[in-house]
A = this chain, B = another copy of it.
Amino acid sequence: MEIERKFLLKTLPDHLDSYPVRFLEQGYLCTEPVVRIRKDNDKYELTYKSKGLMIREEVNLPLTQDAYEHLKTKADGRIISKERYMIPYKAYTIELDVFSGDLAPLVLAEVEFPSEEEANAFIPPEWFGEDVTYSKDYHNSVLSKK
């Protein structure tokens, strides 16, 4: 089970380059349910996510690089590339996704929570903008098609 909230930003946080960063590339074979392939630095994964906005079931399965490259040819729409910065904030970690390619300059912040109560009680930092948790428009599966 994955419980998370998603936000647009007003501004980028200070010293972004000081935080750990990963390079993600991902594509979608299906969007309902989500069947996603992802390259995460040097790791390759197939991910299945059930329907849902704030709360979703998620299963991650390992792929080889060959399997990833093979499945990538089957992806619908665009392959998404982004840098993901991991920014500690109170008890949480903000995952800040800076999109490259034709989705730039989109930036999205995601925060994962251990419970729905904590997710609803979360007070975002000053530099967060609009809460888009309940907007399908910012699902990466939807962004892959725009």
> CA separation between A41 and B74, bound complex, in Å?
26
Could you tell me how many residues of chain A have their Cβ less than 8 Å away from some Cβ of chain B? 18
| Binding stretch for chain B, among A56-64, A81-89, A108-116, A117-125 | A56-64
Do most interface residues of chain A lie in helix, strand or loop, or is the interface mixed? mixed
Those of A3-47 within 8 Å (CB) of chain B: 29-30, 32-33, 35, 46
> CA separation between A7 and B121, bound complex, in Å?
58
Contact present for A63 and B29 (CB under 8 Å): no
Q: A32-B67, A46-B48 are in contact. List 8 more A-B contacts (CB 8 A).
A: A29-B29, A29-B71, A30-B67, A30-B70, A35-B46, A35-B67, A59-B59, A59-B61
